[in-house]
Amino acid sequence: MDELKFHQMTNEELKNLIIRLKKEKNAVVLVHNYQFLEVQDIADYIGDSLDLSQKAEQTDADIILFCGVKFMAETAKILSPEKKVLLSHKDAGCPMAEMITANELKKLKNQYGSNRKVVCYVNSTAEVKAESDICCTSANAVKIVNSFPKDQKFIFVPDKNLGSYTAMKTGRDILLWNGYCIVHDIITLEDVNLARQKYPDYSLIVHPECKPEVYNAADAVGSTKQIEDYVDTHDKVIIGTEIGMYHKLQHKYPQKQLTPLSKKMVCQNMKKTKLVDVAMTLYYEQNEVIVPERIAKKAYQAVDRMLKLSQ
Ligand code: 13P
Ligand code: SF4
């Protein structure tokens, strides 16, 4: 089938094709919470970075198709090197993951590292993971840091906001790198105040990639899965993360009163994948994610340590 044919298909036809290809190829489709609803609709699993890495490790499928951004598919490949891992759109990257290189981290370790453990946020390249002691996600950063002895010091890369949130929650000495998410870091206290004025009886939950003045002004802070769990038990909520999460929750809980903290919170990379990309990626088995074995083996140690502490 040529490419043009895919673009002429309706969403219903694309969906049926994807379901057929999944069976024929023994493929599992992992979809991040920020993806379009039409993509979530064909998922085997939908979740946050932690959920999806656990699924990638456990699956017995031959192919993992990851609908999200590159670091997520790379993490799946690190955990399941014998599987073919495909990324739903070849250009879907995470700018934060590119904000520190392995060489920059090596320099930092040389400068400060001898008595500090390196914790890397999963939103990082495989090379940076390979230079780290342990990985974390937004769901478990506090737990990971707390798993070390009380006097342990850390270097945290690349997200300064998740890093400072983790330092505040654990009271640990954490050296921060100046990375950030271009979607969450633009939100200001003024945005929070405006939303609070407009929705005075709503509670506010935000992602820890937001600035300190924003997460300090929120009623709760959590990963996308933790935001979903919060909405499960609250009826009026301002959702402080990428807009896809609000769309997902609005769809899941039509009876609840939900509103986004800001309509500016759109991750263009997460929005690159349409249903047609999923169908084509699976049909042609394109956008295969390759992690060199030497890097993958070292990165595996950091990710595996995290997963063992997250069971
Ligand atoms: P979660 O792990 O909370 O889903 O976050 C991933 C992410 O990229 C947030 O911007
Ligand atoms: Fe990266 Fe931010 Fe997009 Fe998440 S929302 S994938 S951290 S750019």
pLDDT tens digit string along 174-186? Answer: 999 999 999 999 9
Q: Is residue 110 part of a domain?
A: yes
In sequence order, the 6+-apart residues with CB closer than 8 A to the CB of 98 are 125
Mean pLDDT over 11-29 rounds to 98
Mean pLDDT over 62-78 rounds to 98
Please state the atom number of ligand 1 nearest to the C-alpha of residue 94. 8
Nearest protein CA to atom 2 of ligand 1, as residue: 49
Q: Is residue 222 part of a domain?
A: yes
Q: Are residues 29 and 53 in the same domain?
A: yes
Ligand minimally distant from the alpha carbon of residue 183: 2
Q: Are residues 77 and 144 in the same domain?
A: no
Q: Is residue 303 part of a domain?
A: no
Confidence of residue 311 (pLDDT cuts 50, 70, 90): confident
N- to C-terminal Cα separation, the chain: 43
Confidence of residue 18 (pLDDT cuts 50, 70, 90): very high
Phi-psi region of 128 (alpha: psi -120 to 50; beta: other; left: phi over 0): alpha
pTM of structure: 0.97
Confidence of residue 114 (pLDDT cuts 50, 70, 90): confident
For residue 74 and ligand 1, the question of a CB distance below 6 A is answered with: no
- Omega cis (within 30) before 158: yes
Q: Which amino acid is at 262?
A: S
Q: Is residue 283 part of a domain?
A: yes
Q: Are residues 241 and 279 in the same domain?
A: no
Q: What is the mean pLDDT of the chain?
A: 97
In sequence order, the 6+-apart residues with CB closer than 8 A to the CB of 174 are 119, 145, 153, 154, 155, 156, 163, 164, 166, 167
Mode of pairing for the β-strands spanning 236-240 and 203-206: parallel
Q: Is residue 38 part of a domain?
A: yes
For residue 123 and ligand 1, the question of a CB distance below 6 A is answered with: yes
Q: Is residue 302 part of a domain?
A: no
- What backbone phi and psi angles, to 5 degrees, belong to 29? -110, 115
Please state the atom number of ligand 1 nearest to the C-alpha of residue 183. 10
pLDDT tens digit string along 215-236? Answer: 999 999 999 999 999 999 999 9
Nearest protein CA to atom 8 of ligand 2, as residue: 94
Structural domain including 284 reads 3-92+270-290
Domain count for the chain:
3
Q: Is residue 308 part of a domain?
A: no
Confidence of residue 113 (pLDDT cuts 50, 70, 90): confident
DSSP letter at 177 equals P
Q: Is residue 144 part of a domain?
A: yes
Q: Are residues 107 and 176 in the same domain?
A: yes
**Residue 7's CATH number:** 3.40.50.10800
